[in-house]
Every structure is written in C-alpha cells, then in structure tokens.
Structure 1
Amino acid sequence: MDSEDLSLVPGYEGHIVYLGDKKSNCTLRITDLRLSDSAEYRFRLITSGDKFHGSPFSLNVTDVVLEMDPTSVSEEERVTLTCRTKCTLDPITAYSWYKNGQPIPNSNTYSPVYSLFSVSSEDAGRYSCAVEGHEDLPSPEETLTVTYGPRNTSVSVSPSGEIVEGSSVTLTCSSDANPPVDKYTWYKKNVTSPKASGQSYSITNISSEDSGEYYCEAENKIASSNSTALMIIVAGRDSSPVYDNISGMAMAPTATQTAANVDQDDVHYASVHFSRSKNQEVPLYSTGQLPQPQKQDEDVQYADVKFNHPSSATQ
C-alpha cells in the first residue's frame, strides 16, 4: 500500500516544509509538532520508470500534560495537580510548577503530584508544570477557579456633603464575590420590608421622614453579606444651627467608611450641616456637652442638648 503524500493531506499544509531537492536530499521539516504527528515516515522516490521507498522512520511525539482535580472549588477545599508525560523518564525526576507563568516558590518536587490545601481566592489562576531539564517545554495551562460569597460589602453615598430637604441622594452598594453578586437588596433599620433592590438606591425629594440607618445585602449563589449601616440625617431648609460640625462628636468619620457587618451596630454618618436664614432667631443653649471619648466597644452616645427659646433674640 502506497504511503500518503503529506503535501496532499489536510492539516499538513503549512505544517511541513521540504528542504531537500530532487537529486540527493530528502530532508523534511515538520513545524509546530503535534501529538497527531506520531507516525511512521518514509521518503518515496519516483523516476520516469519506477518508484522507490526509503526505510521507514518512526516518530513518537510526547508532551507534558497537567491534570487538575477539581478545576473549580470553594474556599478551604483541596486541589490536586498531576504532571503527566509519555516520555521515558529517569527513576528520579524532579518537576517544576508554575502559576500564571511564574515559578511557584519552593514547589519543586520529585513527585508528579502537587497539592493545594485549603485554597483561598488568592490561589485562583493558571497553572502548568514541566519536567526538570525541560523547563522550556511546560505543559499547557489549566485554570483554577475559586468561588466565594460576598465580602467587604460597603455603602457609599452621593453626593457627599449636607443633605437638605428636597434634595436627592444615591446610595451605592459594593461587594467582592465570585461568582459576582447577582442580587442587591436595600433595607432601613426598624422597617420590616425592603426599601429597594439593585446595586444603587436613589431617594428623591428627600424629607426628614427619610432620616435613618440604611444598609444593603449582597447575595450570590454561595452566600450573602450585609454592609455596615449608613446613617442619613436630613436637615430642614431653615433649620437652626445645632452644631457647626457634627464631626466633633464621637462617631465614624465619613459616610463612605466601611465595616464588617451591620449586626455590630456600627453606624456611619453622612455629612451633616444645619443652615439657617439670615433673619431667623438663634436659639440659646441652656446646657450642652460633648461626650467623652468612648472605648472601642462602646456605642456612640449623643450629648444631651436642651434649647431655650426666648421671646426675642438678637443676632
């Protein structure tokens, strides 16, 4: 049975190059060697009167393959990497392991098996292996995916600054999760039903009734997580001044600062500033006291402020 002419075989076009001539050189070059190139090769010489076949040559193409089990895990699970090759290796062979194209520190082993114990999200990436002495021929990469529930969930408010009746604010929920968060829900403390859904929640034509603590819940198929509560305090358009700067009180410094969980009763405050009209009476303070610095585990306390409203006051 005649051998196939490689120049006519589908898939070999551009894959083989004849370097010889028709007189005495029968050199053939195969580029981008593949496993499918494993076969028996021979040259054939055709003259005007006959055909001649050279002695056969067997080509055995081997490669290094990385097997990953499993390829997708949750945090704290175990992953096993196995480096396989059909090459005939020395009884004692070392293996090198790579992540995202870079050697994994202190990972060289004399075993074709490498284990990742109690994986975290930082272990996600592309892995490959190579046989020592042939590091220039690593295996194709396999990708490890690590899934986890929402974390670092936080709320930000826009615009920043004072919140006055009639204005609008937008609260935005952010969270890190894999797979990504597929559901956001907004809540107001001491209100049973959710206020809204979606990553952003806008309050238009805001009024004093909208004052309160707001938080969001981020959820994916793994778990859910609540943000720290954000305190919204709405000032009237002509409110009398109570404090020039409420940041003098013992509380979280900004509205966008985050914490671990709303159940800890940590509260963040939107920036609050009360303004008054030029001709408005200024209330006199009978007593007023800022709270003493609190310990870390104490709740925020407000000073007791009482107001006396005389019949007339001058500015």
Structure 2
Amino acid sequence: NLPQYKYSVYSNSKDRYSCAVKGHEYLRSPAVCVQGQSCSRVTYTKRTICVLKGSTVDISCTYVGYYYTTSSFWFRSDKSTPEDLTTNPGYAGRVEYTDKERWRYEGPSTLRITDLREEDSAEYRFTFKTDTIEWGHSLPGTTLSVTGLQVKVTPAAEGQKTLTCSTTCTLTDNPTYIWYKNGQHLDEPTSQQYSSNMLVVGDSTVDIYSCAVEGHEALHSPVVCFQVKVTPEQYSEYKTLTCITTCTLTGNPTYIWYKNGQI
C-alpha cells in the first residue's frame, strides 16, 4: 500500500531503477542501483545529434553488464523487435561498430553510420545480453536527426536580401558556415546568415550563392540565383520584367516581386 511515488525492491537487487511522471515518460530521473554501482546500465554520450545528409556520425555509449556479456548490438527503437543494424539491408555497407575489442563485463560501444540519409533519422539504442538478462532495449537512447542544407532568401534593407543557410534541426557542435558566391569561397561571414544585393536589374551578370559547413565542404546546399530581365514591349511605353533562373524551378513555384525593397 505504498504511495505511487514509492516502490519496494529486494535489498540485494542487481537491477537499476528510475522513475517518471505519467504523460512525461521521456523525462526520466537519473537511474540508481540498489547495490551501489554494481548493476547493469547503459549511459549514452549524447541524447540528441543533428548532422548533415551525406556525412558520417558516431553514436556512442558506455555500458556495464553485472554478469558476463554474451552479445551486444545497436538497433532502431522504431522497429517492432530489436534488430542488429549490421544485418539490416537498409544499412548495408554503411554501419560498423568501431570498438577494437569486445568487452566482457563493461566498456564503450560506438555505432558509426556513413553516407547518412534523411530516412536514417531515428532513435538508436544499445542492448546487451548476459546468461540471465537482456538489458537496454527498452531504455531511451540517442535520437539522430539528419538534415540537408537549403539557402532561404528573405527581404532585408532596400535592395538587399538576407540569405540563411537553413537546416531542419540545429547542427551539433556549433559548426562554422561557409558561403560561396559564383563558386568562390567568401572569407566572411562564417555565420548562418549572409546579407547580399541579390536582385539584379538589366542584363548584368547573375550572382549565384550556396553554403556549406566547415569540414563538409563537399556537401553544398543547392544554389540560388536570380536575375530580372527587362524587355521592351512592342508598341508600348511599358517594359516587361521577367524573373529568370538558370534552370526550371521544381514544384510550380509562386513568384514574389519587390518594388524599392517592398513586396
């Protein structure tokens, strides 16, 4: 008849316990062992990771198996049953465990995934087995988000645009951004935003912009480039302005026109 915030266990228990509030199950307390630190556990180095599509990621943890560990592997938590990623056809040739030696009772474990794809976004967990238990398959692991780069353009001061090297999640480890203009690396800025005079009137050269992240220069964003071409209308004092691109934009886009910097 203990209240819900209390729970009784045997004093010689080798298990590891934590608690949470219903409806907030992901906000668990730190786990404790009844017998000091002498119990099975898995501790993840990072709980969330955001990395670029096409890059490589290391997801790591440390584990303790109170009894002799007979097997261990990493898996995606969104599968109905834990499945060793090294046997998953969707990861063929792209995953490996980088541990140089397999530990009997405790040690580190690192999952490396190369050539990341957006569909690799998932929660990854580590599990191990002993002669008596299977541990870690039901505990929260590391959530991986995979993102591409996209240059977004927004109005700024008159005659200028603000370019943002956009991602669908905040990249891990506070990266340095690299900007390119007409294929040339710009020394500044190194931040996620860049202001530029993008709208060109007449037949002058089109400026082409893209961005990347330092250390992953090969993983460029798609380029953005705009030019306004002025064509006199026949038998009229009017001129036609055409927003042209170097290729046909996908998805039947809606165009926005600006006059003196205003939409």
Q: TM-score range by the shorter chain?
A: 0.3 to 0.5
Normalization by structure 2: what TM-score?
0.38
What TM-score, normalized by structure 1, do the two folds share? 0.33
Work out which structure has the larger RCO, using CA pairs closer than 8 Å and 6 or more positions apart in sequence.
2
Larger CA Rg, structure 1 vs 2:
1
